[in-house]
Amino acid sequence: MSTGTDVLTATDWKRTFHAYGLGTDVPGHLALLLSDDPRDHASALDHLYSAVIHQGSVYSATVPAARFVAGVLDRPGLDTAAPGADAVDGGSSPSLRVRLLAFLRDAVEGGIGYLETPVPPPLDTTERDRVYTAMGSDDEDEAIDIWEDESIDSLMYHEVGVAMGEAAPELYTAVRPHLTHPDAATRRRAVEAAAAIARLGGLDLDLSGAADMAETRDEGAVIVLALGESDGDTTEFLAHTDPAIRACAALAPGQRENPAALTELLSALRDPEEADTWFEDRPSFFDRYGTVRSALLREAALRGTPEDAERMLPVFRGLTPFTSASTADADLGPMLEAAFPDGLPENLTGAQREYLRALADGVLPWKGAQVTAFAALLRRLGLPADREELRVLVGEWA
């Protein structure tokens, strides 16, 4: 299996695809990364994140693209600022190397997603050729309709998920040296990429070098989150002096049965607005939730039992004053689901009554809230999406 520039000629790009069709245009864009012109880099990155990865989805062309990127990570000149990138670390823009490590992370995590689906049978050569022929068809309807074909599920699983997994050892080998790169932002993205690759390929994840060099909260958090997602034991970090590190340790799936971890999550949520300001360069782990507080809330509610509802009530009360119709589903939904696991009961408990009272007293713009995901959640739980009806329910009004 090749990596780096050999991928450009060793890949049958006519038998790959991305979000907009066949991957025959991918090698030309990848080659722009070998240029010294920032405008070429901008064009290449734009293609990588518009076609090769599209809104989080990855495709068969993503696999050779990832192998190419892995093979050029050690090229000189990649530490220059990447065009069009948001600034981190107090104002410095991430380098091209950082952006490429982030691409590898995103590509691999997309591959993991496909392997979490039921295994479809692989396509035979005839069926595979039929799909790729349709994708390259001049008939626009045919090229579009093929995406609805059930054969696409097989291609996604086998030619994206499985193929990415087969590339994992080479990808990991390419990323590992950057775990101890002199630049902190590079180390952080390398940790995230290495962790994703290790999960995909079932590889042993060694972050000791990065841990030895960690200088900031951002670095420590990325390492602890990566350790937790890779089934590592984060227990020792629950006693860390930094509340952000303790919370990241508590988020680990391996801590879901640990009462001390739930206590730590609830402690962090005493000031949810503060939690959202913890990081200058927020770990990508939180991107799937939107905010840090949403990740903490979702995990705390997942672990909490109905008996824990009263413990979470102060958090709920603290969030209701500043939530909005668009954020209420993420801010308040997880705790309501935990407090009402079987929907609205015939007789409210004291804690359930207090949840509804806090909700009715909140600043949520109820008229606009009736068409949001939060309103759908309330209906699913059997709760009214109306302030006055809530007040009647808790007995404040006759």
| Same domain membership, residue 335 and residue 247 | no
Tens digit of pLDDT for each residue in 200-229?
A: 999 999 999 999 999 999 999 999 999 999
Residue where one domain finishes, among candidates 152, 175, 203: 203
Q: 209 in a domain, yes or no?
A: no
Query: How far is it, in rounded angstroms, from Cα 329 to Cα 373?
Result: 6
Tens digit of pLDDT for each residue in 335-345?
A: 899 899 999 99
| Same domain membership, residue 328 and residue 289 | no
Residues 6+ apart with CB under 8 A from 103: 45, 48, 49, 53, 66, 69
Distance of CA 288 to the CA centre of its chain: 4
Q: 21 in a domain, yes or no?
A: yes
With CA atoms as reference, report the closest residue to 71 among 44, 100, 37, 50.
100
Question: How much is the mean pLDDT over the chain?
Answer: 90
Query: How far is it, in rounded angstroms, from Cα 168 to Cα 161?
Result: 11
Give pLDDT, residue 396.
60
Query: How far is it, in rounded angstroms, from Cα 49 to Cα 40?
Result: 14
Q: 381 in a domain, yes or no?
A: yes
pLDDT(326) > 60: yes
| Same domain membership, residue 15 and residue 107 | yes
Average pLDDT over residues 14-30: 95
- The pLDDT-based confidence of 77 (bands split at 50, 70, 90) is confident
Average pLDDT over residues 138-161: 93
Distance of CA 283 to the CA centre of its chain: 10
Instruction: Report the percentage of the chain scoring pLDDT > 70.
Output: 94
Tens digit of pLDDT for each residue in 47-57?
A: 999 999 999 99
Residue where one domain finishes, among candidates 142, 176, 203: 203
Residues 6+ apart with CB under 8 A from 140: none
Residue/partner pairs of 266-270 with CB below 8 Å, 24 or more apart: 266/300, 266/311, 266/312, 266/315, 267/243, 268/243, 268/244, 268/296, 269/293, 269/296, 269/297, 269/300, 269/315, 269/318, 270/314, 270/315, 270/318
Our count of domains for the chain comes to 3
Query: How far is it, in rounded angstroms, from Cα 190 to Cα 292?
Result: 21
| Same domain membership, residue 231 and residue 176 | no
Strand partners, 54: 57
End-to-end, the C-alpha distance of the chain in Å comes to 73
Q: 208 in a domain, yes or no?
A: no
| Same domain membership, residue 179 and residue 64 | yes
Tens digit of pLDDT for each residue in 94-116?
A: 899 999 999 999 999 999 989 98
Query: How far is it, in rounded angstroms, from Cα 220 to Cα 17?
Result: 38
Residue 185 structural domain: 1-203
